Amino acid sequence: MNLGSVGYFIKSSFKGMYKNALMTLASVFVLIACMLIIGTVYLTSENVKSFMGKLESQNEIVAFIDDKYGDDSLSREQLCDKVKAISGVLSVEYVTKEQAFSEYRASLGENGSYLEGYEGEDNPLRNELRIKIGNIEQFSSVSRAVSQMEEIANLRDSQDIVNMLLSVRRTMNMVGFWVLVLLAIVSLFIISNTIKLAMHSRRNEINIMKYVGATNGFIRFPFVLEGILIGILSTGAALLFQWCVYSYALVPALSQLSFLSDTIVPFKSMLISLVVIFGAIGLVVGAVGSALSIRKYLKV
């Protein structure tokens, strides 16, 4: 193949798309639809993730320190370092019982007066460690490790909530994955049919190409290119539509849910991932779909 053939390939592919305009258009639309569904699932899941990220960051383990242990700054520091060394721990905060007490009173507001008489020496609270976890998958292992430390009397964690969050996240990943697989197969089928049609309408040309000694690669190329062009066209259009769907449908819908409204992810920050997802679908489906349909016509 030489440079002179490039013009032939491109012309040939566009001619093929034009001749089969209806089918080409149909496959572009189907591909756009598939991309939009995948894209919408992705954008929704990013928003749920961003909301869950907030929830996750609020999840902490509160470990109460046995009163036997010293309260001087050196032992505080040593204790914090010891906890930090546990894998999965993001940050540790040492909270004295006095701080905890005043926080508690503040949280009671007007009813804070009930706590009168428990201040100072009579403070029933204990010094505590507030431990934040980087990834909630590691929540239970950190929780176990901390509870086994001799300095720790007991602890309070929100394992139930964490488990719920974990299962939501896993379900979402799985649903996303299967939607992707399913729609990729649908798109593959559609593209390969379009190319099959294109090849069928040009089977005489292909036959002549074979007889005058064109290599299979040469014959295949314009059709693969056609598939890729359909993929690229669909990717561009799908991105535009996706932006409309997100701004005018998804965001207003998500904002209705009050708990989600302050964690909405801006479209721009997901644009690159979307381009990558759509582009990969478009290119792979376009190339593989057409390559699949060609084999039959290359015999003889």
Residues at the contact surface with another protein, assessed by CB under 8 A:
1-5, 7-8, 204-205, 207-216, 218-219, 300
DSSP 153: E
SS3 of 37-65: the string is HHHHHHHHHHHHHHHHHHHHHHCEEEEEE
Query: 95: which 2 tokens?
Result: 């909270």
Distances (CA, A) of 232 to 153, 227, 296: 61, 9, 25
Question: CB-wise, 278 or 297, nearer to another protein?
Answer: 297
* Closest approach of another protein to the CB of residue 213, in Å: 4
Asked if residue 92 lies in contact with residue 164, where contact means CB atoms within 8 angstroms, the answer is: no
* Spatial separation of the C-alpha atoms in residues 45 and 49, rounded to whole Å: 6
Question: CB-wise, 1 or 181, nearer to another protein?
Answer: 1
* Closest approach of another protein to the CB of residue 216, in Å: 8
Asked if residue 190 lies in contact with residue 30, where contact means CB atoms within 8 angstroms, the answer is: yes
* Spatial separation of the C-alpha atoms in residues 116 and 97, rounded to whole Å: 15
Question: CB-wise, 5 or 163, nearer to another protein?
Answer: 5
Q: Which residues pair with 130 in a beta bridge?
A: 62, 93
* Closest approach of another protein to the CB of residue 295, in Å: 13
Question: CB-wise, 105 or 210, nearer to another protein?
Answer: 210
Question: CB-wise, 4 or 109, nearer to another protein?
Answer: 4
Identify the helix (H) or strand (E) that includes residue 60: strand 60-65
Give the E-state strand segments of 75-197 in sequence order. 89-95, 128-133, 152-156
Question: CB-wise, 34 or 198, nearer to another protein?
Answer: 198
Query: 277: which 2 tokens?
Result: 């997802």
